[in-house]
A and B are shown apart, each in its own frame.
Chain A
Amino acid sequence: MGMTMTQKILARHCGADQVSAGDLINADLDLVMGSDVTTPIAIQAMEKYGLDRVFDPDKIVLVMDHFCPNKDLQAARNCARVRGFANKMGISSFYDGGRMGIEHALLPEQGFVAPGELIIGADSHTCTYGALGALSTGIGSTDMAAGMFSGKSWFRVPASLRVNLTGRFPDYVGGKDLILSLIGMIGVDGARYKSIEFTGEAISRISIDDRFAICNMAIEAGAKNAIFPVDQITLDYLAGRISRPFTPVTADPDANYVCTIDMDLSQLRPVVAAPHLPSNVKPVEQYAGLKVDQVVIGCCTNGHISDLRQAASILEGQHVSPHTRCLIIPATQEIYLQAMAEGLLELFVRSGATVSMPTCGPCNGGHVGVLSDGERCVSTTNRNFVGRMGAKDSEIYLASPAVAAASAVAGAIAAPGEVM
């Protein structure tokens, strides 16, 4: 029987010719990733059980991004602990300070992800790297500890949903609207335990940054991973980043899918996910005019250069509403420099926005833009759960950079067309 892309990558990594949905396998890992939040627990667990070495220091990446630059003493101690572990184990890919970026933008950018590879990361949005045709999935700290020690992890081979993409995005509609619309359709557990595989003629018109945004939020539908086929857009992105050989996979024509969902991009509209679930997706017009205290543009979902360009195209010649704080967070130092070279950072500051260093920051209420009681935020991040960005009764509306920028100008939820 034919295999999906995900199944082929798993088969290759466990030395099998064939795997099927439901099989439990032990697979060899190409990379293990952890953050300042999840790595301390993994280190503590390794110490507790006497796991005193790592399988390959060059296949471990540690990124200090959640509460960094160190937001308080506890965060500082956590990072110091991870730094000490990296030194002791000879792990050179330790990212802090000026090398730092949000992990899910940083790893692809720095060439840690190649098509066909199998990657686990102790952060749920590790599924982002499927944009490059890799199988990457989020796990917890104990799985990270086991992966760092043994270079292996256990997997239940997932069944797959296939999403067939046709048509073209209308103006001001992009990857974020696509994935929010899909989650709205199938629900927050619509792909639970499964993989999501994208196919269709429209893929050749979907940018790599849109693919990152789409795969990033697969976990919001409960998926193990999401994956795009490798094409020229992928190879163009990888050029200059990857020198090692890699072998992309393609799905077999007779691969078995739970179902196929057809999405015509030309039918998509700018949407928001209203509180408090990413599946609560509505046309932006439904909430138009609702006053907004804060706008966040950035994070691992939408902190890439094309996201910043999109925001800038709306903020240019406009000013952020005096009632609204607008915070812009380039995801990595490279993106920050690119935005600087293109004049975007100056444009943002002149339009009344605040530009932050790369950090996960407000996305999970860590620091840099935490919400007060009853405040409302339009955010390009990926979760709008209760209390996610701060106060328990604050509200998060998830949206694209275009909708977020338009809302910053209007001081209220707005469609991009309204402020242009």
Chain B
Amino acid sequence: MAGIVFKYQDSVDTDVILPARYLALFQEKDLAAHCMEDLDANFVSKVQPGDFIVAGENFGCGSSREHAPIAIKASGISCVIAASFARIFYRNAINIGLPILECPEAAAEIQAGDQLEVDLNAGIIRNLTWNRTYQAGAFPPFIREMIDAGGLLPQLAAQKDN
């Protein structure tokens, strides 16, 4: 996956990722239309399929709304890279198949507009603009299996059919 970077600070909360006034919506395209609206009003018009969000600590804190990772995924973002993730967002992202990588060094150094290339399986982040490479933390095998199955529910559905 390759694309450019939208860069945000620490503790980006799910209220700014997908404001509560849109919570009655739940179709992917409707949610994507309001993604990051209260933090970066230009995000929706600028984001291209394959682009990345890079942020600081505690990304996705606050509400458990799955609308937030769904909106990010449907907006075309290919992967969120952060120094750390809030725990409910971390679960939700894995459960719905939004790729995330935890990498404090990458989160600190990568700048808005940088061109990235990411190898998700290997957890390798290449910053093509500055010619730097970072290694993200690996997922435990338990979670890796869930990701490989396409998320939590596809995994459950497969077990149900067995």
| Interfacial residues, chain A to chain B (CB-CB below 8 A) | 24, 37-38, 40-41, 44-46, 48-51, 66-67, 72, 74-75, 78, 122-124, 126, 138-143, 145-146, 149-150, 154, 188-189, 192-193, 219, 222, 224, 277, 364-366, 370, 383, 385-388, 390, 392
Contact = CB atoms under 8 A, between A and B. Distances in A.
A383 B62 contact: yes
Contacts, number: 136
B152 A385 contact: no
Contacts of B25: 74
Given A40-B26, A48-B153, A277-B11, A385 B58 contact: no
Contacts of A124: 62-64, 88
A368 to B, nearest CB: 13
A24 B95 contact: no
A123 B20 CA distance: 13
Interface residues of B, number: 42
Given A124-B64, A364-B15, A222 B86 contact: yes
Contacts of A138: 64, 88
Nearest to B141: A24
Contacts of A37: 23-24, 65
B124 interface: no
A365 B13 CA distance: 15
B125 to A, nearest CB: 22
Of B24, B64, B140, B160, most A-chain CB atoms within 10 Å: B64
4 tightest A-B CB contacts, nearest first = A364-B20, A140-B92, A142-B95, A74-B24
A50 B160 CA distance: 9
A44 B21 contact: no
B73 to A, nearest CB: 12
Interface string B43-73: 0000000000000011001111111011000
A75 to B, nearest CB: 5
Contacts of A140: 64-66, 69, 88, 91-92, 95-96
B78 interface: no
A193 B86 CA distance: 8
Given A24-B142, A140-B65, A75 B153 contact: no
B146 to A, nearest CB: 8
A327 B108 CA distance: 43
B153 A139 contact: no
Given A37-B23, A74-B25, A139-B64, A385 B157 contact: no
A50 B156 CA distance: 10
Interface string B9-41: 001010110011101111000000000001100
Contact of A142 (B13, B26, B96, B157): B96
Contact of A386 (B21, B39, B61, B157): B39
Contacts of B87: 192-193, 222, 224
Contacts of B86: 189, 192, 222
